[in-house]
Structure 1
Amino acid sequence: MVAPRVTPGHVAVVGSTNLDLIAYTPRIPEPGETIIGDRFVMGFGGKGANQAVMARLLGAAVGMVNCVGDDAYGELTRANLSGFGIDVSHVYTAPGPSGVAPIWVEPDGTNRIIVIPGANHRLTPGQAAAAIAGFPTLDVVIGQFEIPQEVTVAAFAAARERGATTILNPAPGAGVAPELLGACDWIIPNQVELAHLLDGEADPADDAALLGARRRIGCGLVVTLGEAGAALVGSDDRVLRLAAPRVAVTDTTGAGDAFVGAFAFALAAGLDTATALRLGIACAADSVTRPGTQTSFPRGDRAAALLAQACSGA
């Protein structure tokens, strides 16, 4: 269900798919220590897949561009995406294991994640470019750092040729290739990732520093700030800060991906950036109230209510 005055657009995600192996633990063990955890959950993740799912749950037509392994995890991943109604015609298969992500979650929702890319790193620039060129309609393309940057460069170049908006989520934090940065319309780091991009030189709490960061980066900038919300600097060089609602936190895993997927949905639907920022914050905040990754994302009537609220300016 979507808000009555919103016409969903078309989003392609070029990125990772992983099987999440989530351990809920009373605390993180010390080196050499073994402790008893609370419970274990196996679910679907990968930053690319998570962002695709969030955009789809809000109503966008979504295509996934990725590579999985020729194992049971790959088959499960493809079936999971299809179950959400995501186009998997450009999810390729390569010999070897699919990507996995062991995740440790503490009682306050804080998480630690190790990504083992597997087949995610087998996707080629040629495959990505051909996939982007092949979608019948396209409004927004999302990329991240869980696949090789040269693949995202090729995808964004193909997106630019089609007039689609490009969004880069530079996670996990790393330096960004100049040719990739030059192909971005929007970049969405968190505070740690912003420090990686700018060698620690930007304080996201300082408006002047964010303005300087946007000019240095050369594209629209959104910094996610966790429980403090997010800040946006567009081409008008104005800083827009919005707070996050206060919620009872259960698990923060995937919250940043919920933000990116929702922000991309809004841009693909032709909504303004302030609405996109509100929607991203709302979906991320809602997701942390439930355990899991994709399973925690708002859907159905809840997703529709958050969209309607964001469109109303509330």
Structure 2
Amino acid sequence: MQLYPINAGNFKLDGGAMFGVVPKSLWTRTNPADSNNMIDIAARCLLIEDENRLILIDTGMGNKQSDKFYGYYFLWGDDTLDKSLASHGFHRDDITDVFMTHLHFDHCGGSIQWNKDKTSCEPAFKNAYFWSNSSHWKWAAEPNRREKASFLKENILPMQDSGQLKFISVPNDKILKNSELEFDIFFADGHTDKQMIPMINYKGKTICFMADLLPTAGHLPLPFVMGYDTRPLLTLDEKELFLNMAADQNFYLFLEHDAHNEIITVKHTEKGVRLDEIHTCKTIFN
């Protein structure tokens, strides 16, 4: 098995929304804001090369939305999913599986593209299965009013229409062992219903793709919960459970949205679980 970080692009989000009720004077210590109160955000995806499978975890925003839409998110940098795949010697047609932690537009938008005539949308990975779970799919396809702006039908319905959609089984407890994709999955319901956190056994290490359970290293303190979360009190419990496991078992936490920290480890302290070490993907994956 080999792992590769895939940088699908960078953008900015409102720092207050990213940290909920936490005062700006606290969260800016780790996530400085610009004059518009916006903080740097990454769309750092993960590619797993395992024998004859190439599994891509999340796909970023994609490029099919309008200039007005992207204007809300202040895109920066020159990273794209295609350029990042090519830097490792791959093309999107090589991908066999696209695993979506959840179906918010900044995690799955790159899964779907315009067709040649721009008359309809089609899968951007023509040779891949798209993996979700039935509970989250229903949640996203019939969105509540709070999340409706994040679940875009053009990102979701073409997966089903193409016949390329598959569902992961939902466990009775929080962790699904030995899934069809050869990694364990932690299910979290605080951010959105049945978000999936992959836990990959790699060269004796456990690499955890944190998605929106832990957006950045600055979100380690338990009360530092995004305003976007639909059930913030549940996020508190899920973060506590997962971060204690991570400290006990020395998990390596791959941060999808932290533009400046790629992978971290954590440790127990008197104040709770806190940052231990910061790592690069190059150091951990090579």
Give yes or no for TM over 0.5: no
TM-score, with length taken from structure 1? 0.34
Between 1 and 2, higher relative CO (CA 8 Å, sep ≥ 6) is seen in: 1
User: More strand by proportion, 1 or 2?
Assistant: 2
